[in-house]
Amino acid sequence: MLTRTLLSLATLALLSIPATADGDPLADLIGTSWQLTTLDGAPVDAKVKSTLVISADSIGGNGGCNTYGGNLATTPDGIDISQVFSTMMACDGLQQEQAFFAALEAADNFAIVGDNLHLLEGDTVLAELAPAS
């Protein structure tokens, strides 16, 4: 009886662990590409195409004017995007691009809502991105 109870508890414990490849919370995001749709709750300028490509330990893409990159790591509570760097070209979309880079650096977690990626700081959605086509 005790063995059956322990086996049932062990099975229940295993079923409650989130299913991610190798326990990596970023596993489903690695190799994906996104396009920025909203920033700080407001729609972005459709003429300024800001993208995000996620790799195992880095991010990159185009901010709308400049190509950029940065580091990506998991933390016990979420994610850490750091050392975002870019080329330094000027263009009309520079203000949106700089706000996007600031949102990347401030993000401490993410959520997939529907098909979209939400970059979060606490419970606040900093940026929403749709799958890149």
Q: Is 35 contained in some domain? A: yes
Torsion sign, CA atoms 22, 109, 57, 35: positive
Q: Is 3 contained in some domain? A: no
Question: Is the full-model pTM beyond 0.85?
Answer: no
CATH of the domain at 107: 2.40.128.270
> Among the listed ranges 5-14, 61-70, 72-81, which one has the minimum average pLDDT value?
5-14
Q: Is 11 contained in some domain? A: no
Distance CA 133, CA 131 (A): 6
pLDDT, tens digit (0-9, with 9 covering 90-100), for 11-68: 333 333 333 445 677 888 999 999 999 999 999 999 999 999 999 999 999 999 999 9
Q: Is 15 contained in some domain? A: no
State the first-to-last Cα distance of the chain, in angstroms, to the nearest integer. Answer: 56
Q: Is 74 contained in some domain? A: yes
How wide is the angle at C-alpha 110 spanned by C-alphas 105 and 114, nearest 5°? 135
Q: Is 30 contained in some domain? A: yes
Distance CA 64, CA 94 (A): 7
How wide is the angle at C-alpha 38 spanned by C-alphas 34 and 43, nearest 5°? 130
pLDDT at position 6 is 32
> Domains in the chain: how many in total?
1
Per the structure, the complete domain to which residue 27 belongs is given by 21-131
For residue 9, give both structure tokens.
């508890």
